[in-house]
Amino acid sequence: MEPIQKSLYEEYFPEESKRLSFNDLTKRISFVLVNSHPSIGIARPLLPNTIEIGDYYIKDPEPLPEDLKTILDSAKEGVVYFSMGSILNSSQMTHSNVKLFISHGGLLSFTEAIHFGVPLLIIPIFCDQNINAKAIEKNEALQNPKYAETAKQLHQLYYDRPMRPRDLLVYYVEYVVRTKGAHHLSPPQLNRCSQLLLDILDIILIPIIIIGILLSYVLWKCCYRKQKQTIEENKKKITQKTQKALNVVLFKTLKRFITTNSIATKPRSEKKGYNG
C-alpha cells in the first residue's frame, strides 16, 4: 500500500511532495480516523491519536417517496432489499417491512445494515467481503427470528456511543486545529532498528548464541574425550601387538641361539664318521 499512497501523494500534491517527502509526511500524522467499531470487528488497543468513527457517513433518513412508501407499506410478507455496490438509500432501510438485505458484503453496506438493525445475506466477491461474510448466518434468514434479534443486538452495541460518529469526527478535526497538530497524543517516532524489532531480536539472539556456544563446547569436549580414549586404546593395542611380535622374534632368536650352541658343544666322539 505504501508505494500506491506515495504515488497518489506525489500526483495530487506535487508542490507539497517537493517540499516534504512521503516518509517525512507519515511521521507528521496528527490523527487517525478509522471507519470501524469493536462491535463488528476485533477489540484492539489503540493509540491516543486513533479514533474509531464507524458509520460516520450515514445520513439521517429522509421521508420516502410516495410510490416507494406505498410498495413497502403494502408488502405484508415483507421486502428483501437487494444491492450489489450501489449507494444505499437509508430511508428504505429504516422501513419496518424490510426483512432482509442482500449485499456483496462491502464495509459500507455491512455497517449500513448493522446501523439499521436489518438481517444481512452476503454474496462476497473479493477483498474484505469474505471476511465480513463470516460473521453472517445465511440459512433461514427470512423465517428464523433469531437473525432479526441478532441484528437488533448488533445495532444496539453499534449505536450506543456517547457521541454520534459524525460529531466525533468534527470534534477531533477541530481539536487537532486548536492544539496545532495534537502532537502530545502522537507516539514517539521509532528508528529503523526499532521498527524492524532488531533491538528485541538482539535480546532473543544473544541467549541463543550463548547457549549454542556452550552446547558446541560440550559436544566438542565429549567428542575430544571419546577421540582421545580411542587413540589411547589404539596405542595400547599397537603396543600389545608390537610387544607380542617382539616376544615372538626374541623367542625365535633365542631358540636358534640355543640350538646353535648345543650343536657346537657336543663331543667329537659323538659326531658321525669320527675315526679317532
Q: What is the pLDDT of residue 263?
A: 59
Average pLDDT (259-269) is 60
Residue 65 CB burial class (10 angstroms; 0-12, 13-18, ≥19): exposed
Average pLDDT (217-221) is 84
Q: Are strands 50-52 and 32-34 parallel, antiparallel or unpaired?
A: parallel
Asked if pLDDT for residue 257 goes beyond 80, the answer is no
Of 29 and 262, which is predicted with more confidence?
Answer: 29
Of 95 and 272, which is predicted with more confidence?
Answer: 95
Q: What is the pLDDT of residue 262?
A: 64
Average pLDDT (137-144) is 52
Q: What is the pLDDT of residue 1?
A: 57
- Please tell me the pTM assigned to this model: 0.57
Average pLDDT (121-144) is 70
Of 256 and 101, which is predicted with more confidence?
Answer: 101
pLDDT digits (tens, 9 = 90+) for 156-200: 887 788 888 889 999 999 999 999 888 888 887 777 777 777 778
Q: Of 147, 129, 157, whose CA–CA distance to 78 is shortest? A: 147
Query: Residue 155: which residues within 8 A CB-CB, separation 6 or more?
Result: 114, 115, 116, 117
* Percent of the chain clearing pLDDT 90 (strictly above): 6
Helix-, strand-, coil-residue percentages of the chain, each rounded to 5: 55, 5, 35
Average pLDDT (13-29) is 87
Average pLDDT (215-234) is 79
Asked if pLDDT for residue 271 goes beyond 50, the answer is no
Asked if pLDDT for residue 274 goes beyond 50, the answer is no
Asked if pLDDT for residue 264 goes beyond 60, the answer is no
Out of 29-38, 126-135, 190-199, give the one with best mean pLDDT: 29-38
**Would you call 52 helix, strand, or coil by DSSP?**
strand
* Percent of the chain clearing pLDDT 70 (strictly above): 87
Asked if pLDDT for residue 46 goes beyond 70, the answer is yes
pLDDT digits (tens, 9 = 90+) for 231-246: 777 777 777 777 777 7
Q: What is the pLDDT of residue 273?
A: 47
Asked if pLDDT for residue 218 goes beyond 80, the answer is yes
Q: Which residue has the cell 453499534?
A: 158
DSSP E strands in 26-123: the ranges are 32-34, 50-52, 79-82, 98-103, 120-122
Asked if pLDDT for residue 98 goes beyond 90, the answer is no
pLDDT digits (tens, 9 = 90+) for 47-94: 889 999 888 888 777 888 888 889 888 988 888 888 887 656 667 788
Q: What is the pLDDT of residue 179?
A: 92
